[in-house]
Structure 1
């Protein structure tokens, strides 16, 4: 699985791991921060979240155009520096509300610009590594490995955010309660209902602040929780420093892949190689195929990135705040690490060529399983869970399922039955629809979000965490068919002179999808029943799949000469 890949792949993957760790640490608590610091409701927070994600994924188009002209490596370096400035601004607590808003928006803008220069161009460098004939056949596998590395960083992010915020909230003398921020802002704004005031009073008693005036308690809790989130954002600054060190130290391993179409043509001319030019018809066919794929992925990301918005709200307001039984094993990041080690150890047993390697791999897998059993026995019978922690399941599933996915498609490829990349994307959309169908079932009979506002936004009927975990599992199957394969498809199909721009357009499609996440946030409090909200996403995914399969012959024909 990891054999015969250029060393540059691992250097670039690790650099991206650090950056994604910081980004997803921030994203895990971002909506919760908006609601705690500024009193935003789901609609308002969803708008900011959607616009920010749209900018993050739109800016790679600008970054790609600049890189096509000035070089990919240079843009990556500048991007890391600008991102660092943005995270640093976000990490500093500002008490005055209007100044805090300005600082936050400035920080988000810097993060979006920096990500635009960094993310897409780093992936073009990975693609360039596989332009070489000896590596060309491993392009899809390479992007699966690269995507897995991204998710290693993302897997640890929610736990890092939770540990840091809980620590600093405890230093302020408080513990996390999902109901308090909304009720505290209602109290301070003078909009709280009598029943809400009674709930807030009881929560203040639980926090050990029963003797405190409710106004003082509300102000202090909001200040402490918001400050704790600021420290959580500071984690991203540290991770970016690590990414920059990896990128600089190991640059020689991928330096040869830092070229654009003009530099490649000049190199080929100097060495006497034949320069292959696409005809205008081929260029048009390839770009058309890419645009058709981009149209479909818009609706995937609109659905998938509900994880940081309405799915986190569902975790907070409709899901039990504790885990018991076997489920609790998944809410400890170290348990998940042991599961991942056991899986990769087992795969290594079958893929290692020497007997010694097989024994070592088997021993590692056995030790990991034994450690997991010991940790499980030692866990509390019931453990508390916070809403953002559910976001660790998707990257965990990506890390664990990637070797299965790679093995399956390698086996199919050897038999000449591997689906084309466009066909994988279409299947991914069908599977995504099934993922949200799980939430439709989970939400049947639950109160609408509008009905919860009067009592602080938390339902009397709470569903099992397993509903959300199952949804994340199914959505991960869809993601593995769509995201790494789509990125690989772009680097393979894009005309050489437009590589940066086409990768940028992939992210523009992602940006549009991310902004459209706010549509679901907007209807969240409209009075629509909860199961109907999730049904909207089911329908959109199925329509996208039908469109993809209707265009399949055209898409596959456009890629025949790649």
Structure 2
């Protein structure tokens, strides 16, 4: 799988795998913890969920700027990993009598993620020389690492809850995952050090620098990035219902099972990522040989449309009985939804990372990668905001709104496609 790719990709693959294991182990039980331990209303849970995810993905803007201007990517990532481990450990110490620790822990996690998240994605792109045809595939492989961790996380959360009977055990496991991420990143640092363009040893190395871009072209590229950022907000608003509305649908509408608990359904998305990524990469390669591979922005547009089809499945499931919250629906409704939205995600999320790496001026690459996650942050907040209406609207209406917004987003990509493709010339 790593053939024809830099050695550093393997290091960053496993670094991100363990970081995402921590993130998704925590997220798998986050809503359930607030619901069953704290007893909060859906509206309040939605606000906490949305605000937390918004800040988790908004702070990478600051983290990218810090790496660009001051610390370099490697140092910033290391600090972020340590802070994240502390945050998850604090979360494990929270309970109904120590709610304040819960909120302090969320704040610490938000800071740690801000330092970590965007910068490791920048390092992946920096492993490849300018114009490399392997960069899209490299991000697809890196995305598999993300989802290998995400696949293991709900399974670990389910097993830990069954064994210990508490959600705090999942938070402790998340802290262990972050420590493993730090260890991998530090032990095999020689594989990626050259990609840390902001590090002291590379500042004087002209081979790691790109030619200066004409101001007019740079302006065009920044406009293209901001356009994509604005459009993908609606994908993340819908996608991150996996931790809210889809989890509540699993809890209240799907037939109960001893081992297929509400948090376990979150494992299907990363499982399908692992299965489908080689297929998608091979498909793009086949189209490339025929001269028909879509551009990176076009792939993003297709991702929006396919994700809308996933929400259509939920509209049908809700209309056929899911609205009743009677634990009467087959698990296959959710599983098929996760399958379809995974295809959409593979067309969109890794391609978005690749697009930013290609188009962003090097002097602000960390900042612009942070901007991608900033757009994710807005979508995440909106996921919690609209999630608060899950029981105010019928589930049919709820998922129909998400369908319409995703279709409109796909249309916006189509409208701006020529300008977006033009901005990638020479990259």
Give the TM-score, by structure 2 length. Answer: 0.96
1:300 aligns with 2:166: no
Q: Match of 2:205, SS? A: helix
1:319 aligns with 2:320: no
- Specify which of 166, 176, 181 is matched with residue 238 of structure 1: 176
Quote the residue 2:51 is aligned against: 51
What is the alpha-carbon distance in structure 1 between the residues aligned to residue 2 and residue 311 of structure 2?
33
What is the alpha-carbon distance in structure 2 between the residues aligned to residue 302 and residue 503 of structure 1?
19
Q: Match of 1:551, SS? A: helix
Quote the residue 1:88 is aligned against: 89
What is the alpha-carbon distance in structure 1 between the residues aligned to residue 403 and residue 94 of structure 2?
40
Structure 1 unaligned regions, length at least 5:
170-227, 323-382, 453-458
Structure 1 residues 261 and 425: CA distance shift in structure 2, 3 A: farther
- Specify which of 296, 304, 325 is matched with residue 429 of structure 1: 304
Check whether the contact 1:446–1:530 (CA below 8 A) recurs between aligned residues: no
Q: How does 1:351-390 map to 2 (within 5 A)?
A: 384-390=259-265
What is the alpha-carbon distance in structure 1 between the residues aligned to residue 368 and residue 239 of structure 2?
22
Check whether the contact 2:92–2:169 (CA below 8 A) recurs between aligned residues: yes
Q: Match of 1:524, SS? A: coil
What is the alpha-carbon distance in structure 2 between the residues aligned to residue 274 and residue 407 of structure 1?
31
Check whether the contact 1:310–1:520 (CA below 8 A) recurs between aligned residues: no
Worse-matched range after superposition: 3-12 or 438-447: 438-447
Q: What's the CA shift string for 1:87-119, capped at 9, x where partnerless?
A: 1100114452xxx22111110111111011111
- Specify which of 256, 263, 266 is matched with residue 391 of structure 1: 266
Quote the residue 2:104 is aligned against: 106
Quote the residue 2:155 is aligned against: 159
Quote the residue 1:511 is aligned against: 377
What is the alpha-carbon distance in structure 1 between the residues aligned to residue 326 and residue 216 of structure 2?
61
Q: What's the CA shift string for 1:515-538, capped at 9, x where partnerless?
A: 001232221122x22211100000
Quote the residue 1:67 is aligned against: 67
Structure 1 residues 166 and 275: CA distance shift in structure 2, 3 A: closer
Q: Match of 1:137, SS? A: coil
What is the alpha-carbon distance in structure 1 between the residues aligned to residue 322 and residue 353 of structure 2?
40
What is the alpha-carbon distance in structure 1 between the residues aligned to residue 147 and residue 424 of structure 2?
28
Quote the residue 2:204 is aligned against: 266
Structure 1 residues 549 and 12: CA distance shift in structure 2, 3 A: same
What is the alpha-carbon distance in structure 2 between the residues aligned to residue 476 and residue 93 of structure 1?
33
1:287 Cα offset (Å)? 0.3
Rg larger in structure:
1
- Specify which of 289, 292, 300 is matched with residue 417 of structure 1: 292
Quote the residue 1:196 is aligned against: none
Structure 1 residues 561 and 106: CA distance shift in structure 2, 3 A: same
Q: What's the CA shift string for 1:398-451, capped at 9, x where partnerless?
A: 000000011011111122110001100111111011000001001115375xxx
Q: How does 1:120-519 map to 2 (within 5 A)?
A: 120-131=118-129, 136-169=132-165, 228-260=166-198, 266-268=204-206, 276-322=211-257, 384-446=259-321, 448=323, 459-460=325-326, 462-519=328-385
Structure 1 residues 243 and 262: CA distance shift in structure 2, 3 A: closer
Worse-matched range after superposition: 304-313 or 41-50: 41-50
Give the TM-score, by structure 1 length. Answer: 0.74
Q: Match of 1:22, SS? A: helix
What is the alpha-carbon distance in structure 2 between the residues aligned to residue 520 and residue 462 of structure 1?
24
Quote the residue 1:557 is aligned against: 422
Quote the residue 2:396 is aligned against: 531
Check whether the contact 2:252–2:326 (CA below 8 A) recurs between aligned residues: no
What is the alpha-carbon distance in structure 1 between the residues aligned to residue 263 and residue 210 of structure 2?
51
Check whether the contact 2:229–2:375 (CA below 8 A) recurs between aligned residues: yes
Check whether the contact 1:261–1:497 (CA below 8 A) recurs between aligned residues: no
Structure 1 residues 251 and 274: CA distance shift in structure 2, 3 A: closer
Structure 1 residues 396 and 30: CA distance shift in structure 2, 3 A: same
1:37 Cα offset (Å)? 1.8
Q: Match of 1:385, SS? A: coil
Quote the residue 1:543 is aligned against: 408
Structure 2 unaligned regions, length at least 5:
none
Tell me how large the CA RMSD over aligned residues is. Answer: 1.7
Structure 1 residues 545 and 485: CA distance shift in structure 2, 3 A: same
Check whether the contact 1:52–1:112 (CA below 8 A) recurs between aligned residues: yes
1:263 Cα offset (Å)? 7.5
Check whether the contact 2:321–2:329 (CA below 8 A) recurs between aligned residues: no
Structure 1 residues 262 and 546: CA distance shift in structure 2, 3 A: farther
Check whether the contact 2:37–2:96 (CA below 8 A) recurs between aligned residues: no
What is the alpha-carbon distance in structure 2 between the residues aligned to residue 151 and residue 145 of structure 1?
10
1:521 aligns with 2:396: no
Q: What's the CA shift string for 1:125-180, capped at 9, x where partnerless?
A: 111101266xx1110010000000110111011110011111122xxxxxxxxxxx
Structure 1 residues 43 and 122: CA distance shift in structure 2, 3 A: same
Check whether the contact 2:197–2:203 (CA below 8 A) recurs between aligned residues: no
How many residues were matched structurally?
Answer: 426
What is the alpha-carbon distance in structure 1 between the residues aligned to residue 153 and residue 287 of structure 2?
34
Quote the residue 1:3 is aligned against: 3
What is the alpha-carbon distance in structure 1 between the residues aligned to residue 111 and residue 412 of structure 2?
33
Q: Match of 1:166, SS? A: helix
Quote the residue 1:178 is aligned against: none
Check whether the contact 2:57–2:114 (CA below 8 A) recurs between aligned residues: yes
What is the alpha-carbon distance in structure 1 between the residues aligned to residue 187 and residue 94 of structure 2?
33
Structure 1 residues 236 and 416: CA distance shift in structure 2, 3 A: same
